Amino acid sequence: MKILVTAKRVTDPDVKIKVKPDGSGIVTEGIDYKVNPFDEIAIEEAIRIKEKAGGEVVVVSIGPAESTKEIRSGLAMGADRGILVKADGMVEPPTVAAVLQKIVEEEKPDLILMGKQAVDGDNNQSGQILADLLDWPQACFASKVELEEGKAKVTREVDGGFDHVEVDLPAVITADLRLNEPRYASLPGIMKAKRKPIKEMELSGMGVNLEPRVVWHQMAEPPQRKSGEMVPDVPTLVAKLRDEAKAL
């Protein structure tokens, strides 16, 4: 089984992001980057499937040349090879999906695993758009995946319980937070990853529409929260919640 899995380069979600004084973007100097956490979960799931059933795991990233670091992270975990589509600046979900469609047409995977969303843009669109372009079934927000006889049984967390769906392969599945706990790369895995191949391509040569669909005019930080207020007793608290906060 061949599994295609994504690895987007994002700013470390544990680092506080600052907006540039002119509002033109975020301050990137000194910022750490890592694999999008949901993509990391998808990579772990792909490797677990390979360990059970055999096959190949191909890690794909669309981003700057430095994204080879994030691909190498997936290779160190146990993936077999990588593909980097070099792109500068923000790449919108429809473009991401169109690029992945081109790669799928060449690689012909049996399964595509992606993070349900990226923690930088939080768009939650690329997987769904890709499934539509490919005309493949999709199962989003997976918290459990079981493969058998050319089908994938996927458990999805929904409000008030779980949703169980079954899709034919090939399919697109997006990973939710509780699908698994990604492993730490071992030292031998890190050393092997340095020798695993990464194919590099240029976004401009992919033959997809690069026209932006959304124009960013300005970024701004949210207003500072007001400091809290001590109240002497419960009746006063209830009155403030009702009359001032309008929460009751």
Is the pLDDT at 248 greater than 80? The verdict is: no
Higher pLDDT, 229 or 234: 234
> 121 burial class (0-12, 13-18, 19+ CB within 10 angstroms)?
middle
Is the pLDDT at 39 greater than 80? The verdict is: yes
The H-assigned helical ranges of 56-118 are 68-77, 93-107
Q: What are the beta bridge partners of residue 163?
A: 156
Q: Which 8-state DSSP code applies to residue 10?
A: E
Q: Which residues contact 16 (CB under 8 A, 6 or more apart)?
A: none
The H-assigned helical ranges of 68-226 are 68-77, 93-107, 126-134, 187-193
Give the pLDDT confidence score for residue 160 in this predicted structure: 83
Q: Which CATH number fits domain 2-214: 3.30.310.80, 3.40.50.620, 3.40.50.300, 3.40.50.2000?
A: 3.40.50.620
Q: Of 194, 174, 183, 151, which Cα lies nearest the Cα of 100?
A: 174
As given in the structure block, the two tokens for residue 138 are 């999709």
> 126 burial class (0-12, 13-18, 19+ CB within 10 angstroms)?
buried
Q: What are the pLDDT digits (tens) for 42-88?
A: 999 999 999 999 999 999 999 999 999 999 999 999 999 999 999 98
The H-assigned helical ranges of 135-226 are 187-193
For residue 192, name the pLDDT band (cuts at 50, 70, 90): very high
Residue pair 116/176 in contact (Cβ under 8 Å)? The answer is yes
Containing 167, the helix (H) or strand (E) segment is strand 161-168
- Domain positions in the chain are 2-214
Q: What are the pLDDT digits (tens) for 135-187?
A: 999 999 999 999 998 999 999 988 888 999 999 999 999 999 999 999 999 99
Q: Which residues contact 168 (CB under 8 A, 6 or more apart)?
A: 137, 150, 151
